[in-house]
Amino acid sequence: MSGPAAETPSAIQICRIMRPDDANVAGNVHGGTILKMIEEAGAIISTRHCNSQNGERCVAALARVERTDFLSPMCIGEVAHVSAGITYTSKHSVEVQVNVLSENILTGTKKLTNKATLWYVPLSLKNVDKVLEVPPVVYSRQEQEEEGRKRYEAQKLERMETKWRNGDIVQPVLNPEPNTVSYSQSSLIHLVGPSDCTLHGFVHGGVTMKLMDEVAGIVAARHCKTNIVTASVDAINFHDKIRKGCVITISGRMTFTSNKSMEIEVLVDADPVVDNSQKRYRAASAFFTYVSLSQEGKPLPVPQLVPGCGKPLQSPGT
């Protein structure tokens, strides 16, 4: 495995035992738990790097997570090892690569469970609307910079595209029929608390991703009525920061089913309840892919999505 090298000053490793609350009833660790740890490692290493030279102090805010696959399931009692390294810097952003291993400390078995790429942007501590400059990393090979630049340009393009796609929202529907989109669509509200936030009062990207995975999982479970696990997450874009005190609504709906998997769109909207001057806005969006498992952990066929529905509405309700 190439990935991030061992403990150069620019690498970091988090490890933690998986507990019952990290997992579903069948003992499989939630994809959201893993995404949250990945983001914590990314936030530490990129904040550390962006403050490594004298100058204005800053905090690194998550801007985007590239598509990531969940290669093998993790279970309660296993130790998750999350290692992160910086692989590219542009003038105003940092690319972090993260590997996740699961270790069964009783048998010694280790498995690669995830590889992820995250993009961070340094925001000034004095003025959170000001993006600072990123100190350049030193590349060990010439090509690394060039390859990094290509990844940077590609994600920039994709981010701009998704900005346009985000007009719609989950619509409540009358008497939904089984296996329709309306039948399984779900949304939850969450009042942002202190533990959800960075020192500067913004929600950690990892907290948002954990809630997104939770909603996607409920949509998948309602559709299948079986044990379901996260198989992959499409690129997640963070369009705007979420402040402490906001109420966030996370909505999910099934957009596609194949024989073996389900695709669920998840939207995050923030509502600055107490601040009358600001309107509700779209903060993040992504597509999650889930699979259905039997009690023995074997893949099960997924009920196909049927087109019918109830009576759709034009605007958000609940």
Span 4-23, contacts to its own copies by CB under 8 A: 4-17, 19-21, 23
Q: Nearer Cβ to its own copies, position 53 or 258? A: 53
Give phi and psi for 39, each to the nearest 5: -70, -35
Q: Is 114 considered catalytic here?
A: no
Distance of alpha carbon 69 from alpha carbon 46, whole angstroms: 22
Distance of alpha carbon 30 from alpha carbon 14, whole angstroms: 17
Exactly one of 28, 90, 113, 182 binds its own copies (CB under 8 A); that residue is 182
- 169 forms part of the interface with its own copies (CB under 8 A): no
Exactly one of 81, 156, 239, 282 binds its own copies (CB under 8 A); that residue is 81
- 295 forms part of the interface with its own copies (CB under 8 A): no
Residue 312 CA: distances (Å) to CA of 178, 223, 249, 306, 315: 15, 19, 19, 15, 9
Site for its own copies in 146-165 (CB under 8 A): none
**Among candidate residues 266, 66, 265, the one with its CA nearest the CA of residue 158:** 66
Binding segment (CB under 8 A) for its own copies, from list 62-70, 133-141, 254-262, 298-306: 133-141
HSE-up of residue 222 (Cα within 13 Å, Cβ side): 22
Exactly one of 71, 128, 131, 197 binds its own copies (CB under 8 A); that residue is 197
Q: Nearer Cβ to its own copies, position 185 or 237? A: 185
Tokens of 190: 């969450």
**Among candidate residues 22, 68, 62, 47, the one with its CA nearest the CA of residue 205:** 62
Task: Outline where DSSP puts E strands in 104-225.
Answer: 110-124, 186-191
Exactly one of 154, 160, 306, 313 binds its own copies (CB under 8 A); that residue is 313
Exactly one of 29, 38, 43, 235 binds its own copies (CB under 8 A); that residue is 43
User: Which of 213, 227, 234, 237 is an active site residue?
Assistant: 213
Distance of alpha carbon 42 from alpha carbon 63, whole angstroms: 11
Task: Give the number of other Cβ atoms within 10 Å of residue 179's Cβ.
Answer: 18
Exactly one of 125, 128, 131, 300 binds its own copies (CB under 8 A); that residue is 125
Binding string, residues 263-282; x marks residues near its own copies by CB under 8 A: --------x-xxxx------
CB 204 within 8 A of CB 40: yes
Q: Is 127 considered catalytic here?
A: no
- 101 forms part of the interface with its own copies (CB under 8 A): yes
Site for its own copies in 206-265 (CB under 8 A): 214-215, 217-218, 221-222, 225-227, 244-245, 247, 251
* Gyration radius of the chain over CA positions: 20
Residue 34 CA: distances (Å) to CA of 72, 105, 134: 12, 18, 27
- 52 forms part of the interface with its own copies (CB under 8 A): yes
- 108 forms part of the interface with its own copies (CB under 8 A): yes
Residues with catalytic annotation?
24, 213
